[in-house]
């Protein structure tokens, strides 16, 4: 049988008809005989179906597809397995083993190991949990205690005590900034670092004015040090200053800050800063250029979700 998998990098494409390449695989007697990639950029819906038929594709394995495309392809003899996610090689292996089914990759996979702890660990998916006893104030399922540390370390306990005290305010009117202040005071911090994005300079300026009423604050901009793209061998050009989040962390480490606050660092830059910061890190607010710094809004907008999916 000849099988087609629309690709996004090395993964099955989330949206079939937006894939710019397709992996063609020949399978017989439980073995992969050949595989070759084919360009699919710019094809219309009808051209996709025509191509599948002309290539003698018996099965299309993909992510999401429009209903009309699925109906047309099925009517012309192409079996379609939809709602698949994951690495193409893994998907092919599952197909050969006869274990591939719609929805694969979107739900938890149980570990093949015979070790009960491995099986429990690999089965954890709190979104797909059917019990959700935690929402009723109950303990998680039996066996979890074998993979979760006791958490009775003194530093951990102190942090959780203060965080719980802030979270359990009887009158829940504390904004995020107020929570940060209450948490810092509860932890008896004196010296706080602020790693902020240059694009949020005004917000950082206001924030520092608030925090300095309670703590010593060291604010450090992401462009600190004047590092250029040429300095770190990036392709943007020698005149472009790049984000120097490792430098931010290094300066705050030298200042011996007790807590570092992220304000508006880009995705990826925030992970680097957290990695190199010696002090604990909390994110106070994030930058979202499209949604007025409210990224959660995208989850409740069909337009944004469809637009995101169409890009891949």
Domain topology for 189-298: Rossmann fold (3.40.50)
Between 3.20.20.150, 3.40.50.970, 3.10.350.10, 3.30.420.130, what CATH number should domain 2-97 receive? 3.30.420.130
- Number of other CB atoms surrounding residue 118 within 10 Å: 14
pLDDT per position as a tens digit, 91-126: 999 888 888 888 888 765 544 556 777 766 766 777
Question: What is the domain partition of the chain in residue ranges?
Answer: 2-97, 116-146, 189-298
What is the pTM (predicted TM-score) of this model?
0.66
Name which of 117, 141, 145 is nearest 130 in CA terms. Answer: 141
pLDDT of residue 111: 46
On the question of pLDDT at 230 being above 90, the answer is no
Q: What percent of the chain has pLDDT over 90?
A: 35
CA distance 131 to 147: 19
Q: Rounded to whole angstroms, what are the CA distances from 244 to 136, 229, 277, 280?
A: 45, 10, 13, 19
On the question of pLDDT at 86 being above 90, the answer is no
- Number of other CB atoms surrounding residue 254 within 10 Å: 10
pLDDT per position as a tens digit, 2-25: 999 999 889 998 888 888 899 999
Whether 2-97 shares its CATH topology with 189-298 is answered: no
């Amino acid at each position: 049988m000849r099988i087609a998998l629309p690709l996004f990098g090395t993964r099955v494409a989330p949206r079939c008809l937006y894939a710019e390449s397709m992996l063609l695989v020949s399978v017989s007697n439980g073995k992969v005989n050949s595989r070759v990639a084919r360009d699919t950029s710019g094809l219309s819906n009808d051209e996709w179906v025509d191509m599948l038929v002309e290539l003698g594709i018996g099965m299309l394995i993909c992510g999401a597809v429009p209903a009309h495309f699925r109906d047309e392809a099925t009517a012309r003899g192409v079996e379609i397995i939809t709602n698949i996610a994951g690495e193409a090689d893994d998907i092919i292996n599952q197909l050969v083993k006869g274990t591939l089914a719609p929805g694969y990759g979107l739900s938890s996979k149980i570990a093949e190991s015979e070790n009960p702890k491995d099986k429990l660990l690999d089965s954890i998916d709190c979104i797909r949990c059917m019990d959700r006893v935690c929402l009723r104030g109950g303990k998680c399922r039996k066996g979890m205690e074998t993979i979760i540390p006791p958490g009775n370390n003194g530093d951990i306990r102190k942090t959780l005590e203060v965080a719980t005290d802030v979270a359990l305010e009887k009158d829940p009117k504390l904004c995020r900034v107020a929570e940060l202040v209450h948490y810092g005071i509860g932890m008896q911090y004196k010296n706080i670092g602020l790693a902020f994005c240059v694009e949020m300079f005004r917000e950082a300026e206001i924030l520092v004015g608030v925090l300095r009423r309670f703590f010593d604050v060291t604010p450090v901009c992401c462009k600190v040090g004047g590092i250029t793209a040429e300095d770190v061998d990036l392709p943007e050009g020698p005149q472009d200053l790049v984000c120097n989040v490792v430098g931010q962390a290094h300066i705050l480490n030298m200042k011996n800050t007790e807590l570092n606050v992220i304000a508006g660092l880009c995705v990826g830059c925030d992970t680097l800063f957290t990695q190199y910061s010696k002090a604990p890190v909390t994110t106070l607010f994030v930058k979202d250029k499209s949604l007025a710094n409210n990224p959660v809004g995208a989850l409740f907008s069909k337009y944004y979700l469809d637009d995101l999916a169409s890009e891949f």
